[in-house]
Each structure stands twice: as C-alpha cells, then as structure tokens.
Structure 1
Amino acid sequence: MVNRELPVISLFSGAGGLDCAVERCAEPPLSHDGSGSPLRVAVATDYDETALKTLANNFPHTKTLCRDIQSTTTQEILEAGGLSKGEATLVVGGPPCTPFSKSGFWIEEKRQSSDPDASLLDEYVRVIRESEPEAFVLENVQGLTYKTHKAQFDRLIAGLREAGYNPSYKVLLAAEYGVPQLRRRVFVVGRRDGKEYRFPASTHSGESERDRIIDHSKIPFVSVSSAISDLADGPAEDGEIVEGTYGELAAEVPPGQNYLWHTERYDGRNVFEWRSRYWTFLLRADPDRPSTTLQAQPGPWVGPFHWESVPNADGDMRARRFRTSEMKRIMTFPDEFTFVGGRREVQRQIGNAVPVHLGKVVVRSLMEQLGYLSPSGSQARQQSAKQLSIL
C-alpha cells in the first residue's frame, strides 16, 4: 500500500457522498476514519452552496469552489487544488441526474431527452480532457442508459474515448454490495493508460423489485431494520409525521405495501384505482428487506416511510418519514457525517448522493487495478461486507 496522498478532483460534488467513498476506500479494515486510503480530495466543485457547505464541514482539507461548472475553467479548478495538468490521480463526480431520472418523467423535455442540463455531461468530459487525470469515475442514475437518452450517453462515451480513455460502464444495484437500499446507479470508469477497468463482483444477493432468484453462495441483502434498529429511540424531527390529505390512509398501509392497499384488491379502503399512482405513493418500508430508493425531493405522500407509526399531537397514529440519522445509515454515510440545512435540504443532499459504500467498492477496485492498493481476496471482501451489515 502506498503511503502518500494522491490528489482527486471532485466535480458536481454535492454533499460529498463520492468524496467520502474516495477518502474511505481502503479495506480491510472497514473503518470509519478512512485508514489506509491514499486518496485525498484536493478540490471539490458544485453550484449548490448548502451542499458544498456540508462537504466543507466534513472535508476541511478540501478546497471548495461554489461555481457553475459551465463558467469555470479547468485551469481554475486545477489551481484551486494546487495541481498541474496530469497530476490528479482521479476525477470523480456525478453530473446532476435530473435530466435522466424517472422522477418527473411526465415533463415533455425529459421524455424527449431535451433537458438543457444534460449538457453538463459535456462539461465533465471537458475537465477530463483538459486535466488529464490517471483515471476517472462518473456515476449517475440508471436512466442515463435508457434508449431515450441514447444520444447523450453515446456522446459521453465517445467524448471520453476521444480524450484518451477506455471507458467501461455498468449499472450496479447497491444492495448487491452490502448497502441496505435497492438503489441502481450507473458507473462509468476509465483509465488513461488504455487498460480496461473491470467492475467488482457483487457480494450480496436477495430479492429486488425485478429479481426473485437468490444466489445462496453470497451474503443475504442487508435489511433496513438491521441497519437502523439501534436508532429507534432517537429524537423526533420536525416534519417527520405524515399528515394532510392522505395522512390517515398512509398510517393504515402495512409494512412493504403502498397505496394499492387501499384498492379493491387488498384489505384497506377502496379509495384508489388499481395502478393509478406511482409505486412510491404511500409506500411503507419493509423492515426485512433493503429500503427502496431514498428520493431527493419526494412529494408529501411519497415514500418510503418508516414501517412503524407514531402518535401525532392529537394522539392519532401516523406514518413517519425516516430521520436524518436513519437516512445516513441507509445511504451508508458515517454516523459522524454532518449535514447543513433543514430537513428538506438534508433529504435533498442525501437523496442526490451515491451510497458511500457502493462508491467505496468501485473506487477500491479501481485503485487496486491501478496498483495503488493491494488486491484484497474474496475472503477479506466477504468479511468487510459482513462487518458493514452489522454497523
């Protein structure tokens, strides 16, 4: 293991989920202090001031630039990080996923893949081309790979190749790597030396929204209850109780069910038409399975909500939202990671982030393949995964 700091440029950094993965990528041991990681984020950029304040609080050694990437030159980024062209070991980042997310897909420009923010992919490629890092890691929502966005995705891959890299991409399910969340993200990884990056094999198996076949040679999925059970007696948060038009209906939905409970096919009230809403409407988490995806900007009745109900001011039982400490666990942020802002701002920052452990797995494997970290055997990986499952 190399005992020196290797600089990283972070783009579209948000609150620092991928940055946290970078600086805590070394395993074993699976540590919360990043022991053994040779990587340090030299400079991080984002236009979201609140999210960047969160990052700065957790990474005091990192220079931050709160700027629009479209008006920020690569040279400015390099200078802020004290770097010259070709000195960065990695460039990492996730361009805003809004143009490619299924959320809000009723908007015509999203269906037609004409969202102007999609051009931010080109800015990522521009910084790669002009800064010449040894390798890069880009992550985004799975929707980026859909046929609707084929032109943008093909342009991204072509641009990275023209910049001198050999990009590989794959959609990863976070739960298959020990994250207590059924969240799918696409990772695009490339090396400047032209060698192909090989994605790590999954360590966990279980039922997802698509798959029912379980590989019993792997570790079972980490359930959301096992991830957050020790936080059950934590303090209540403002805005956690689900009230309003559908507050009473939400409280009656059993764990693992959604609004469909209140259709003629189930045992609730016959209020809604079958499949007339999005799956996440009034969705309660199943404690025995990984959580469904935590969204950045959910509507007032969009889950997943906690499976347990709590009394409101009038003593009526109501569903409740996951608290910040619980959302951090579901996203595998360290407990000591702090967020700036109110509840909505915090949920937006968490929901926009990459699950930290999933990022760690990808970055770790890349650093192994680049020769900066010693390859850890399957036994060590399995042990680290088991340790994660009980944190």
Structure 2
Amino acid sequence: MARTNTAKLSTISLFSGTGGLDLGLEAAGFDIRVALELDADCVATLRHNRNWPVINRSIHEVPSTELLKVAGLHEGAVDLLVGGPPCQPFSKSGYWASGDTKRLDDPRASTLEAFLRILRDLKPRAYLLENVAGLAYSGKDEGLRFLTETIRSINKECGTKYGTEILLLNAVDFGVPQIRERTFLIGSREGVRFGKLKPTHHPNPIGNHPHQLRISPVVEMYRTAWDAIGDLSEDGAEVPSLSGKWADLLPSIPEGSNYLFHTEKGGGLPLFGWRRRFWNFLLKLAKDLPSWTITASPGPATGPFHWNNRRLTVRELCRLQTIPDDYSILGTYRSALRQIGNAVPSALAEVIGLQIRLRLLADLSAASLKPSLIPPKSCSTPPPEPVAPVPSKFLHYVGKHAPHPGTGKGNRSRRQQQQPDLDIALE
C-alpha cells in the first residue's frame, strides 16, 4: 500500500561512524532511532551533534532485542536497516548454511555476519549495506556469494523476499564535489526491486583541462572544489603545517596536478619516474574540478591539498563530503580526518534515501522532494594560483628516471610474490 504522508521513516544504523550516511538519510526524511558505533571519537561526535540514542559497544555484544528496545520498535516495524561493516575477512564457517547461529561473543564472528544476524532478527522493510569490499570485482566475488547465500537462507527461514541488488556509484555523479566510488547492497523485504540510479550531474564539456572527466547526457554540471569551499578560509582553523621531505615542492605543482607534473611526460622538471608514486602523492585540488577522494589516513605528502599549498581544514573536508555546516567533528585533526575520510558523502546518502522512500517503501510524498545537501553552483571560478619555481634543494633530482615497469611488476608486487603472507599481514 502506498504511503502519502510525510511521517519520518524509522531507521536503525549500524557501524554509524561519524554519521555521514545517517545525516543524508536524516535529510531524506528518515528518523535515526538508534545508532551503533564502537569508536569513541565517532560516538562523541554523534552525541554532540544529534540526540539519536547511541550504543557504544561492539556489534557482537549487542543483541537484536536491545536495538529494538532502544529504538522503541518491534520486529518487522523497522523501515530501514543501514550500515557499513568494516572490511574484514569473511568467515568460511558456513554460518548460515549450517543453520547454526554463532554466539555473540564468538571471536570468529565477523561484522558482516553480525549485520546479517540483525537483518534476520529485525526483518526491516528494507536494508542498505555500504562499503562491502570486493563485491564489484571480477574474479573476487566470494563476498557477494557469501551475502547472496546468506540472504537466501534468511528468506527461506523467515519467509522474506530480500533481494541483493548492487549499486556501484560515484558520488560526483550525484552532486557531491568529490570523486568517490562506493558500493551498496540494497534489498526490500517484499522483493521490490530498486533498479538503477541514473546520474544527475556531469562534467563541464567546455574547457581543455588535462583531467577532464567523462561526459554523460544528464542535466546539471559537476560540483567543483570551488563550489564547495571557495567561500572558506584557513583563518582560525587548526591545520597542521606541511612537513616531510617533499613539503616545499608542493607550490611548484599546478592546481589539479600531482607529482606527475615533475616527470618526463609532465610540464615541470624530471624529478620522478612516470607512475612511480601513488596517484595522490603531492596531489593538489583544482578550483574548477571536483575534489579527488578524501582519505582517512594520509601520509605527509598525500593529497588532495588545498590550492594554497596547505592541508584542508576540517570544515573544508566536511564540505567536500557534503556534511552539513551545523555538524561539528570532535577530536584532534588526525581523528577528524579519519572520521571524515571514512564517511559516506551525506548528499549521496540523501539521494539514495529519497529513492528508497519512493521505490522500496512506496512513500509517494518523496516523488516531489529534491536533495538539499548538494552545494549550489558558483557563478564564477577564479583563475588558478601561480606556480612557484622548484626550490634549489630538489634540483639534484633532475635527470633520467625509469618509469613504472607495469602492472604486477613493481617493487610491492615482487615482494608479495616472494612473501605473500607477510605482505598481507602488514597491510
């Protein structure tokens, strides 16, 4: 039966982190009835900003009955169960196939299995599972097979019809000013299909920027870094100064470029070998392009950096993740960066949430609603900042540098071939 009222839909959030996914769902009209999170800094952030009930324990210690009690709901009454389990190895114990459920204190129980346990116990009208590693990779589908087999077992046991649709989405295609690919698994208790999400934004086809992105025939232009943070400044913000061996080289790299500018194929000096470093090494934002992916634990030379040759402030990082301005991230700069870098862009979550209301929960009132967390398009963008000359202390690196030998032939790949178990343990 279709819903036409505007009452908020109940949501139980697992692995809530700093709240990026939940903030988007909140903007889409969902009521976060309880959030479950283990990390102390994330819990402090959640409790400081929202009055959502937050359970600060491991998911393995929390029975489903407690979640329902705190949420004030009963089995089958939850509209949406959401969560992004950490990417841990899947158990091969045949947890569901055998019909024998593990005890909550079993150390072998994985976070993914715990999410599925709660899905079975709560029987929500719909679920959204985010950031499941390996789901979309050809030849590495053990995670997907585990999920589909488990959910098939849940359906058989409980008489439900949950599907396992995969959404491979890039946040920039939906108004987020950041290139960030995410994987979602989604399903309805009644077997209603969600279908595909058609991109709503595209790159500006005008201009000759070397990193111009693919063009798709949709309506609005991509939101850029300038759209998101052009009105902000560093004044008064806690931002660690740049440090490390390469810090003074950053001003010599143009906006939108990285260390590749200083290779034989770039426009600068040949200081590095082609593709011998990670992509985000000395990577700098361009005002007229979306940001590249914000990482949770960057090294001293890991970008993206601000076009003014500094680290991004916490508020700028939040803007690039479309976390609302009234939301404060607590903790040190390092902690805030980790919290923000692990979050789902809130505007992307809002887009998905509105479509869940409409497609899976038959809430017709969502048909007329527009996303509210996408930053507005700026009327104009300033020109790029001037590029500084290479400091003299780096000039001894000028010379012939060998390019990367190719996929699977680099130093790390050779180490893994020689000591695969050791490398896996170190990662």
Partners of 1:253 and 1:261 within 8 A in 2 = yes
Deviation at 1:98, TM superposition (A): 6.9
Deviation at 1:57, TM superposition (A): 1.6
Deviation digits for residues 34-79 of structure 1 (CA, Å, limit 9, x no counterpart):
xxx2x2111111110110111122221x111111112322122222
- The residue type equivalent to 2:71 in the other structure is G
- The residue type equivalent to 2:42 in the other structure is A
Which residue number in structure 2 is paired with residue 72 of structure 1?
Answer: 62
Deviation at 1:375, TM superposition (A): 4.5
Aligned-partner Cα distance in 2 for 1:327–1:238: 11
Which residue number in structure 2 is paired with residue 122 of structure 1?
Answer: 113
Partners of 1:89 and 1:135 within 8 A in 2 = yes
Which residue number in structure 1 is paired with residue 224 of structure 2?
Answer: 223
Which residue number in structure 2 is paired with residue 345 of structure 1?
Answer: 335
Aligned-partner Cα distance in 2 for 1:141–1:210: 28
Q: Specify the SS of the correspondent of 2:128.
A: strand
Aligned-partner Cα distance in 1 for 2:88–2:278: 18
Deviation at 1:209, TM superposition (A): 11
Map of 1:19-34 to 2, 5 A cutoff?
A: 19-25=22-28
- The residue type equivalent to 1:7 in the other structure is S
Aligned-partner Cα distance in 1 for 2:243–2:251: 9
Aligned-partner Cα distance in 1 for 2:142–2:71: 33
Deviation digits for residues 21-42 of structure 1 (CA, Å, limit 9, x no counterpart):
11111xxxxxxxxxxx2x2111
The alignment status of 1:205 with 2:202, answered yes or no, reads: yes
- The residue type equivalent to 1:206 in the other structure is P
Which residue number in structure 2 is paired with residue 303 of structure 1?
Answer: 303
CA gap 1:98/1:155 in 2 versus in 1, 3 angstroms: closer
Deviation digits for residues 93-150 of structure 1 (CA, Å, limit 9, x no counterpart):
11124779xxxxxxxxxxxxxxx99932221111101111110111116754224641
> Of 310, 325, 333, which residue of structure 1 is paired with 2:315?
325
Q: Which has the higher strand share?
A: 1
**Gapped regions of structure 2 (runs ≥ 5):** 91-106, 156-161, 380-427
Deviation at 1:158, TM superposition (A): 2.5
Q: Specify the SS of the correspondent of 1:231.
A: coil
The 10-residue stretch of structure 1 (354-363 or 49-58) with the greater mean CA deviation from structure 2 = 49-58
Which residue number in structure 2 is paired with residue 374 of structure 1?
Answer: 365
The alignment status of 1:189 with 2:176, answered yes or no, reads: no
Aligned-partner Cα distance in 1 for 2:348–2:22: 12
Map of 1:98-113 to 2, 5 A cutoff?
A: none
Map of 1:139-150 to 2, 5 A cutoff?
A: 139-140=130-131, 143-147=134-138, 149-150=140-141
The alignment status of 1:6 with 2:3, answered yes or no, reads: no
Deviation at 1:386, TM superposition (A): 7.6
**Gapped regions of structure 1 (runs ≥ 5):** 26-36, 101-115, 309-318
Aligned-partner Cα distance in 2 for 1:54–1:385: 19
Which residue number in structure 1 is paired with residue 412 of structure 2?
Answer: none
CA gap 1:19/1:213 in 2 versus in 1, 3 angstroms: closer
CA gap 1:149/1:127 in 2 versus in 1, 3 angstroms: farther
Higher Cα radius of gyration: 2
CA gap 1:119/1:98 in 2 versus in 1, 3 angstroms: closer
Partners of 1:172 and 1:184 within 8 A in 2 = yes
Deviation at 1:17, TM superposition (A): 0.9
- The residue type equivalent to 2:168 in the other structure is V
The alignment status of 1:264 with 2:264, answered yes or no, reads: yes
The alignment status of 1:237 with 2:250, answered yes or no, reads: no
Q: TM-score, normalised by structure 1?
A: 0.82
CA gap 1:87/1:217 in 2 versus in 1, 3 angstroms: closer
Which residue number in structure 2 is paired with residue 49 of structure 1?
Answer: 40
Deviation digits for residues 300-334 of structure 1 (CA, Å, limit 9, x no counterpart):
111011112xxxxxxxxxx2111111111110111
Partners of 1:167 and 1:197 within 8 A in 2 = no
Q: Specify the SS of the correspondent of 1:303.
A: coil
- The residue type equivalent to 2:336 in the other structure is V
- Give the CA RMSD over aligned residues: 2.7
Aligned-partner Cα distance in 2 for 1:82–1:304: 43
Aligned-partner Cα distance in 2 for 1:24–1:78: 23
Which residue number in structure 1 is paired with residue 97 of structure 2?
Answer: none
Aligned-partner Cα distance in 2 for 1:255–1:325: 20
CA gap 1:293/1:386 in 2 versus in 1, 3 angstroms: closer
Aligned-partner Cα distance in 2 for 1:390–1:24: 23
- The residue type equivalent to 1:41 in the other structure is I
Partners of 1:177 and 1:385 within 8 A in 2 = no
Deviation at 1:254, TM superposition (A): 1.1
